[in-house]
Structure 1
Amino acid sequence: MLIASGYPLPSFADDGMYLKWDFEEGFGRDIWTEPIGRVASEMSQSVVALASFIVEFEGSGEHKKEKKISRRFACTGIFIECDESTTRILTSASLVRGSSDEKNIHPEWKIEVCLPSKERVDGTLQHYNLQYNVAVVSIEGVCSYRAAKLDETSQSEVGAQVVALGRAFESGKLMATDGTVTGKRSRFDCEELQMSTCKITKAGIGGPLVDFDGNFVGMNFYDMAQTPYLLRVRILELMRRFNAEWTAGVACETPDESKFPSWPVPDPEWVYPSRYPEIPRAAQFVFD
């Protein structure tokens, strides 16, 4: 089960050991208060979970069957366009990036989408941009959900109250937590990232950051202290470029290796409390 989920095996048995930085770790509270509950309810039909898998095929011809070997990544996405034939989802390109080589995209990986109804459907990588770590995944025949309106003006000035949303892939659970826009710069290489005090987990990567009116502010990434996010304005520019490429018959961006910033995501690892006790919270240093 661990290998299939893309997790390492523990090196030895130890009472109380647990897996850190897994994709199932949730965030926020189980019971939401106003206005978080209202925002989450309004956005619940727009937020999905995605996962990528390495697959192999058994048999041939009519008897050819697909077998999932291991999961490579799991994250959140948001509907940005729904019509009768194709629905598009905005998410993070980390979904299909190699962990050891971030310049390597894997369009051959199988993508599954967990819908708000918890139904699983196949997804197709339609566009990606490695400079901003953004991807668009399409699914077929799903048109009963609500697309987020990226072009509506949102409250994103310093001090604005915001909500970060995510959905867990295995359980399908919707997650939400609130915070404020700080105006600080992220430690990541991408200088256009802004920061909020929303505390999310890896499951929230690619998920939306919205204001208290449910308007789209940006797309979240993961850091351990605060949450970096890519601004709505930049995402709109990318969507216009993607649409132009699609009209011209170009499915995905041609990578330009000179523009590749790093988008670090911590790998899952086992923690053994009896051998390596964690530093008490009061003794930990907080870096600004």
Structure 2
Amino acid sequence: MPSLSDGDSSSSGDKSNTNDQRRDLTEVTQNESGELSTLMEQRAYNLRSRKDDSVTLQRRSEFARQREQQRTQRRIEREKAEEEKIREYMKKASKRMKEMIDRLPKRSEVDMENRTEIINTDTSGVMQMEKWRRYFEIPDFGNLETTLKGASWAVEDLALQVAPSVVGLQSITDGDKDHFFCSGAIVESSGECQKIVTVANLVKKCPDTDELAEGLTITVYLQNHETCKGHLLYHDFFYNICVIEIQYPVHLPKQGFSSNTEVASFDEGCSRDVVTLGRDKDTHALVVSTGKIIPKSSIFDCEELLVSTCKISKAEVGGPLMSFDGNFIGLNYYHHKETPFIPSFIVLKCLQQLKLFRKVVRPWHGLQVRTLFTEGPSAFDSVQTNLPRTPGVIIEKIQDQSSAKASGLNEGDIINRVNGTYFSNAAELGGILLDIGTLYLLEHQNSTQPDGSNMAISIKFGVRGHEGEKTIVVDKFASSGIRNRWPFPKPIIIQKYRNGKKVLEEWYAMES
């Protein structure tokens, strides 16, 4: 067998070296090719490594700040430009609006012929029209029906008998403007002269002042649908009473007010059933309502007022309140939550003074009192609760400017007699004070100062549970200016005109 020579071994080694060299060359070529490709890619995309040194960062921050300033400046300029455009637009719009208004026909040309007027209100009142309610509608309180059918036939017969004495009254200002409508009762008839008592709102300038309206014309509506002209004879704003006189060729039935003080008493044996009478504003028909007198103090700041549950409208204000035995026991007033009324004996005393002195005088003692039987919140409710049906009144407040401060009387004291005369409620106390005023004027009617200036009337009050009396020296009469009494809602009147003639008139009032 032949053996391998050295030459063959050498040849095999050379081949191995050659392969290694070829492999090395290939790897070098691939590395150089990869580095070249990476370099070309970096040059193509400008991808250079950043140097985050402080100078570069500062330059970069300054560049960002400048760009933000430029953006802010451009935004401000845009806003100014927009504001200028808006101002220019509003200026042009205002000019165009003025030109349009100038081109509209004048009020005297068209609006006065066909227009709608809202009287006695302002812009806020117009915006709150949802709070308006019909001026002469019957308020919704209590559970009693406005009808006589719930009463006996005897009561209905009594109401129909006194109906001829009940009238409607309307006052007009400036020739054709409705001022006030109410009801009243004929209390005196002598030949062709008839006298009617009603509320003084009929002649008052406005609800919150004590001034007479100027240029008034008063129309009286009788039961037989006849009308006659009335004129003001007397008035008193403190008790809100006035007397209207009419001339009528036929004798009219009268109905006097009762002098009985039991209407203000709440003894168990005294009947509380009552009937109100009045006239409707539009038809002038008789309107009646039944109810009861309740032991409650009136919302108004007049302690002589009592309250009934009868439902009446503003048109029935001034009408009489009748008991079931046919007597006029009060003069009705109005509130949309109750029906206050003046007791008949107070009305009688006022009418007597008006006839004698043409005014009502009542010494002003400076005490604000409340009848003990009345309901409602008070600082002295505990006293009221512990003393049911106790005769007398409780002193709720003593006026600072009155002489009562030095009399020894205190708030919370219960007074039950005046000058030795006992009384059981505030209405009776008011009647006694009216008598004192009448007596003073009769004694001083020949005096040089019959108006009561520089007067000095000593009134002695008896305090329940104490012997002796407390004396108050009264130096003036009560007047309507002492307290804001008996507010009445001002009517909001809507009038519509067509071709210069009034075709519609609606009355409203804002009541909570």
How would you bin the TM-score normalised by the shorter chain?
0.7 to 0.9
1:185 aligns with 2:297: yes
For the structure 1 residues 6 and 162, does the alpha-carbon distance in structure 2 shift closer, same or farther, using more than 3 Å as the test? farther
- Do the aligned residues in 2 keep the contact of 1:91 with 1:206 (CA within 8 Å)? yes
Instruction: State the match for 1:275 in structure 2.
Output: none
- Do the aligned residues in 1 keep the contact of 2:148 with 2:156 (CA within 8 Å)? no
Higher relative contact order (CA 8 A, sep 6+): 1
Give me the whole-angstrom Cα distance separating, in 2, the residues matched to 1:263 and 1:40: 28
- Do the aligned residues in 2 keep the contact of 1:20 with 1:268 (CA within 8 Å)? no
1:22 aligns with 2:135: yes
Give me the whole-angstrom Cα distance separating, in 2, the residues matched to 1:107 and 1:212: 40
Letter in 2 for 1:128: H
Unaligned segments of structure 2, at least 5 residues: 1-114, 140-144, 360-444, 446-476, 494-511
Q: Following superposition of structure 1 onto structure 2, how do residues 1-288 of structure 1 map, counting pairs within 5 Å?
A: 20-23=133-136, 28-29=146-147, 33-35=151-153, 36-55=155-174, 68-106=175-213, 108-151=215-258, 153=260, 156=263, 157-158=265-266, 160-245=272-357, 256-268=479-491
**Structure holding more helix per residue:** 2
Give me the whole-angstrom Cα distance separating, in 2, the residues matched to 1:18 and 1:246: 41
Letter in 2 for 1:34: S
Instruction: Provide the secondary structure at the position in 1 that maps to 2:295.
Output: strand
Superposed displacement of residue 102, structure 1: 2.5
Letter in 1 for 2:277: L
Identity %: 28
Give me the whole-angstrom Cα distance separating, in 2, the residues matched to 1:4 and 1:44: 37
- Farther-moved stretch of structure 1 (144-153 vs 195-204): 144-153
Give me the whole-angstrom Cα distance separating, in 1, the residues matched to 2:242 and 2:289: 24
Superposed displacement of residue 185, structure 1: 1.1
Give me the whole-angstrom Cα distance separating, in 2, the residues matched to 1:169 and 1:154: 32
Give me the whole-angstrom Cα distance separating, in 1, the residues matched to 2:211 and 2:178: 17
- Do the aligned residues in 1 keep the contact of 2:292 with 2:309 (CA within 8 Å)? yes
Superposed displacement of residue 69, structure 1: 2.1
- Superposed CA deviations along residues 209-247 of structure 1, whole A, max 9, x for unmatched, are 010111011100001122100011111111110111259
- Do the aligned residues in 1 keep the contact of 2:259 with 2:344 (CA within 8 Å)? no
- Do the aligned residues in 1 keep the contact of 2:138 with 2:312 (CA within 8 Å)? no
Instruction: Provide the secondary structure at the position in 1 that maps to 2:345.
Output: helix
Give me the whole-angstrom Cα distance separating, in 2, the residues matched to 1:5 and 1:143: 41
Instruction: Provide the secondary structure at the position in 2 that maps to 1:258.
Output: coil
Unaligned segments of structure 1, at least 5 residues: 56-67, 249-253, 271-284
Give me the whole-angstrom Cα distance separating, in 2, the residues matched to 1:151 and 1:93: 21
Give me the whole-angstrom Cα distance separating, in 2, the residues matched to 1:214 and 1:227: 20
- Do the aligned residues in 1 keep the contact of 2:275 with 2:288 (CA within 8 Å)? yes
For the structure 1 residues 71 and 184, does the alpha-carbon distance in structure 2 shift closer, same or farther, using more than 3 Å as the test? same
Superposed displacement of residue 128, structure 1: 0.6
Instruction: Provide the secondary structure at the position in 2 that maps to 1:190.
Output: coil
For the structure 1 residues 191 and 5, does the alpha-carbon distance in structure 2 shift closer, same or farther, using more than 3 Å as the test? farther
For the structure 1 residues 31 and 6, does the alpha-carbon distance in structure 2 shift closer, same or farther, using more than 3 Å as the test? farther
Instruction: Provide the secondary structure at the position in 2 that maps to 1:233.
Output: helix
Q: TM-score, length-normalised on structure 2?
A: 0.44
Letter in 2 for 1:231: P
Letter in 2 for 1:42: Q
- Do the aligned residues in 1 keep the contact of 2:184 with 2:196 (CA within 8 Å)? yes
Give me the whole-angstrom Cα distance separating, in 2, the residues matched to 1:54 and 1:155: 40
Q: Quick check: which has more Rg, 1 or 2?
A: 2
Give me the whole-angstrom Cα distance separating, in 2, the residues matched to 1:135 and 1:118: 23
- Do the aligned residues in 2 keep the contact of 1:129 with 1:135 (CA within 8 Å)? yes
Give me the whole-angstrom Cα distance separating, in 2, the residues matched to 1:103 and 1:223: 19
- Do the aligned residues in 2 keep the contact of 1:24 with 1:170 (CA within 8 Å)? no
- Do the aligned residues in 2 keep the contact of 1:53 with 1:71 (CA within 8 Å)? yes
Give me the whole-angstrom Cα distance separating, in 1, the residues matched to 2:117 and 2:483: 30
Q: TM-score, length-normalised on structure 1?
A: 0.75
Superposed displacement of residue 170, structure 1: 2.5
Letter in 2 for 1:239: L
- Superposed CA deviations along residues 32-78 of structure 1, whole A, max 9, x for unmatched, are 752442232121111000010013xxxxxxxxxxxx32101000000
For the structure 1 residues 8 and 50, does the alpha-carbon distance in structure 2 shift closer, same or farther, using more than 3 Å as the test? farther
Give me the whole-angstrom Cα distance separating, in 1, the residues matched to 2:485 and 2:314: 16
Superposed displacement of residue 138, structure 1: 0.3
Give me the whole-angstrom Cα distance separating, in 1, the residues matched to 2:185 and 2:121: 29
Size of the aligned set, in residue pairs, is 251
Give me the whole-angstrom Cα distance separating, in 1, the residues matched to 2:289 and 2:257: 20
Instruction: Provide the secondary structure at the position in 1 that maps to 2:159.
Output: helix
